Amino acid sequence: MEQIIDNVHIDFDKDSLWPLNIALALVMFGVALEIKLSDFKKLARKPKLVLTGVFSQFVLLPAITLGLVWSLKPVASIALGMFMVAACPGGNISNFITHLAKGNSALSVTLTAIATLLAIVMTPLNLQFWGSLYPPSAQILKEVSIASLEMIKLVALLLGIPLLIGMMVNHIRPKLAKRMTKVFKVGSLVFFVILVFLALYKNIDIFLEYIFYVFWLVLLHNLVAFLTGFSLAIAMGLSKENVRSITIETGIQNSGLGLLLIFTFFDGLGGMALLTAFWGIWHLISGLLLGGFWGYRSIEKKKLV
């Protein structure tokens, strides 16, 4: 089965990629409608918070993922899926979960924005760099010959431009942005989820056959991601609110972006697509459980670090 899954390709009509692209861009636009320039100015006075979040997201998580891959030795396509997830920026639902967990919402929103902009370059580079350090996944990268510049252009189109436009609308017409936020965030997210489920439904036999192979890997990887953010934030001596925010930002990944990159550049490579798709389902469950648990635990009000 291990050799077979590396050769399985998820059938996703290329004509459906455009609606999927648009949905992801609208999700990002909805997130950006809540972002203000003042959020950056406030946190600029506390660079320790932002640097901790960015380091956890783009350096520590991929590095620990490499250690996890070397320890577990999953098949090539599954390993590459793990590297893809670790290379993606935080997911948009992290802001909602942070609010639920009584974390620092302003930090969460700002980290989402910064990570999204950095992802334009960091996601392709991290995937290429860390994926090449594990020989089985390095072989796939060699065979696929990813055009990094093309991937950067796609990520910029899907994430960077909607983010900047959304922030501009919020800056120029804040009242309009507030009214638009709920509609865009909820509507586009639902539309995106429907498209992903349609992709899985068209390949239900493949999904059911291999889901238990990736199930425990996703649970373990997601747990490690949460622990990575939590441990680093604790080590940096941050307040409980900020620890919760950075933990959630590190454990909630933009798997939707990962899926689009897999369908676009890897022709729906089975192991990658299955792991990333299941991550997209599971991190919603684990994130909501963690957010709900923390939400019931009060935080003593202290001066934030």
What pLDDT does 3 receive? 55
**Which comes out higher in pLDDT, residue 14 or 175?**
175
Helices (H), 173-203: 174-202
Tell me if 60 sits within 8 A of 232, measured CB to CB.
Answer: yes
pTM value is 0.83
Instruction: Note the pLDDT tens digit of each residue in 258-268.
Output: 888 888 788 76
What pLDDT does 13 receive? 56
CATH assignment of 14-291, among 1.20.1530.20, 3.10.129.10, 2.40.420.20, 3.40.470.10: 1.20.1530.20
Nearest to 89 by CA among 113, 61, 119: 119
Residue 274, C-beta contacts closer than 8 angstroms, at least 6 positions apart: 5, 10, 78, 81, 206, 207, 210, 211, 214
Residues 61, 87: Cα–Cα separation, whole Å: 8
Residues 85, 36: Cα–Cα separation, whole Å: 27
Q: Which single residue is written with the structure tokens 């950095």?
A: 118
- Asked if pLDDT for residue 9 goes beyond 60, the answer is no
Least confident of 44-48, 184-188, 270-274: 184-188
Instruction: Note the pLDDT tens digit of each residue in 47-80.
Output: 888 899 999 999 999 999 999 999 999 988 899 9
- Asked if pLDDT for residue 115 goes beyond 80, the answer is yes
Least confident of 2-6, 97-101, 254-258: 2-6
- Asked if pLDDT for residue 106 goes beyond 50, the answer is yes
Angle value at C-alpha 230, between 85 and 118, nearest 5 degrees = 45
What pLDDT does 8 receive? 57
- Asked if pLDDT for residue 148 goes beyond 80, the answer is no
Q: What is the mean pLDDT of residues 20-38?
A: 76
Q: Which of the four pLDDT bands, split at 50, 70 and 90, describes residue 243?
A: very high
Q: Give domain limits for the chain.
A: 14-291
Instruction: Note the pLDDT tens digit of each residue in 187-233.
Output: 766 766 776 676 667 667 777 777 777 889 999 999 999 999 999 99
pLDDT averaged over every residue in the chain: 82
For residue 4 the two structure tokens come to 């077979």
What pLDDT does 242 receive? 94
What pLDDT does 303 receive? 47
Q: What is the mean pLDDT of residues 280-296?
A: 88
Backbone φ/ψ region at 89: left (φ over 0), alpha (ψ -120 to 50), beta: beta
- Asked if pLDDT for residue 22 goes beyond 80, the answer is no
